Amino acid sequence: MKSSTNDHKVIIGTRGSALARWQAEHVAAALKEASPGLEVELSLVVTEGDRFQAGPLIERGGKGVWVKEIEEGLLAGTFDLAVHSLKDVPAYLAEGLALVAIPPRADPRDAFISRTGAGWRDLAVGARVGTSSLRRVAQLKLLRPDLEVEVLRGNVDTRLRKVAEGVVDAAVLACAGLDRLGLGERITARFAVEEMLPAIGQGALALEARAGDARIARLVASLVDDDATVCVQAERSLLAALGAGCQTPLGGHAEVSGDRLRLRALVAKPDASVVLRDEITGARAEAVRLGRALAERLLERGARAILDAG
C-alpha cells in the first residue's frame, strides 16, 4: 500500500491496539467532517513495542519502540499521516518528518485503579501496584514508600484484567486512554498534578507527516488546538533540552491561562532518593524558551548527574 496522491484520500498509519485505533479513527472522523468527500483509510503497523510486551521499555530502546516503524512507513510513502499518543513520541523525530497538528488535549492526569476500590492512601502496607513507567514508580515511592511497585506491561485491557485478577492490587494508567476507550468508570481516583506530575505530552495526540507536505498540512489545519499546541511546545522543549529518555523518571506539564503559561517539571532517581522539582511561568508566546530555561535550571541543580546515571 502506498500513500495517496489523490487530494480526496488520506492513508493514516497507526498501531493496532484498541486505543491506537480509537485515536486514528477519531482523527479520521474529524478530517472527514472538516473536508466532506475526503476518503480516509487506516494502515495498521506492528511496532517493536507491540512485539515485546515483557520488561521495561528501556530494555528495548525507550520511547522509539512505539513510533520507529510508523516513521519508517511515512518516509517510505506507505501512508500520509501518523497518529500517536504524544507521550510516546521521542524529543527528536526522524529526519524529514514533522508534527503537523496537535488536536485538543484530553485529561493529562494519571489514573489510580484498585481492585477493591480503595484509594492510593488507603491501600494496605505492602500492596502491589503495577506500572511500566519509571516516572510513576518514583512518584509512587514518594507518596507511599511502603508499597511494592511492579512492572506492568500490556495494553489497557490487559492491565485492567491483571488488576481484576489480583496479579496486582492496583495500577496506574493514563486517564486519557481510559476515557477515550469509555473506561473512565473504572478509575478509582485521578491523581492531582501536584501528587503525580504527568508525562510530557500526556493526554495529547500528535499528528505526524512528511515535512513540507502542503496537502496534509492543509487538511489537518482545522484539527489544531492552539492551547494544546503551545503547552506541548513548552513540554517538548524541556524534554529536548534535558536530553532525557525513558531511563530517568521525568515529568513535565504545562498549563495556559490567557497569555500566560506555567510549566512544571520533575526529575528523579528511580528509587526517589533524589527528587528535583521546579516550575516557571511566562508569556505563552515564549513557550519554547520557557522549556529550555526550566531545563537549564534543573541541570544546574543536579539533574545532569541524575540523567547521566540513568
Give the CATH number for residue 243.
3.30.160.40
The CATH number of whichever domain residue 145 belongs to comes to 3.40.190.10
| DSSP, res 37 | T
CA distance linking residue 282 with residue 261, whole number of Å: 5
Please tell me whether residues 99 and 212 are part of one structural domain: yes
Please tell me whether residues 71 and 157 are part of one structural domain: no
Please tell me whether residues 100 and 29 are part of one structural domain: yes
User: Please, which pLDDT band fits residue 308 given cuts at 50, 70 and 90?
Assistant: confident
Task: Check residue 290 and give its pLDDT.
Answer: 98
Residues 223-238: tens digit of each pLDDT: 999 999 999 999 999 9
Spatial neighbors of 298 by CB under 8 A, at least 6 apart, are: 242, 265, 267, 276, 278
- Sheet of 170-174: strands edge to edge? 148-151, 128-131, 170-174, 110-114, 189-190
CA distance linking residue 155 with residue 28, whole number of Å: 22
Active site residues: 88
Mean of the pLDDT values across residues 288-305?
Answer: 96
Q: pLDDT at residue 154 above 70?
A: yes
Please tell me whether residues 216 and 249 are part of one structural domain: no
Please tell me whether residues 19 and 96 are part of one structural domain: yes
Q: pLDDT at residue 58 above 50?
A: no
Please tell me whether residues 151 and 284 are part of one structural domain: no
Please report whether residue 217 resides in a domain. Answer: yes
Please tell me whether residues 80 and 217 are part of one structural domain: yes
Residues 99-147: tens digit of each pLDDT: 999 999 999 999 999 999 999 999 999 999 999 899 999 999 999 999 9
Please report whether residue 198 resides in a domain. Answer: no
Please report whether residue 301 resides in a domain. Answer: yes
Please tell me whether residues 124 and 46 are part of one structural domain: no
Structural domain total, the chain: 3
Please report whether residue 288 resides in a domain. Answer: yes
**The whole model's pTM is what?**
0.91
Spatial neighbors of 301 by CB under 8 A, at least 6 apart, are: 276, 278
Please report whether residue 199 resides in a domain. Answer: no
Task: Check residue 6 and give its pLDDT.
Answer: 64
Please tell me whether residues 100 and 33 are part of one structural domain: yes
Task: Check residue 63 and give its pLDDT.
Answer: 52
Domain that holds residue 53: 9-105+204-224
Please report whether residue 3 resides in a domain. Answer: no
Asked which of 135, 167, 190 is the last residue of a domain, the reply is 190
CA distance linking residue 250 with residue 307, whole number of Å: 9
Please tell me whether residues 220 and 73 are part of one structural domain: yes
Please tell me whether residues 305 and 162 are part of one structural domain: no
% of the chain residues with pLDDT over 90: 85
Mean of the pLDDT values across residues 276-286?
Answer: 98
Q: pLDDT at residue 61 above 50?
A: no
Please tell me whether residues 89 and 215 are part of one structural domain: yes
Task: Check residue 3 and give its pLDDT.
Answer: 58
Crossing angle of helices 18-34/156-164, nearest 10°? 140
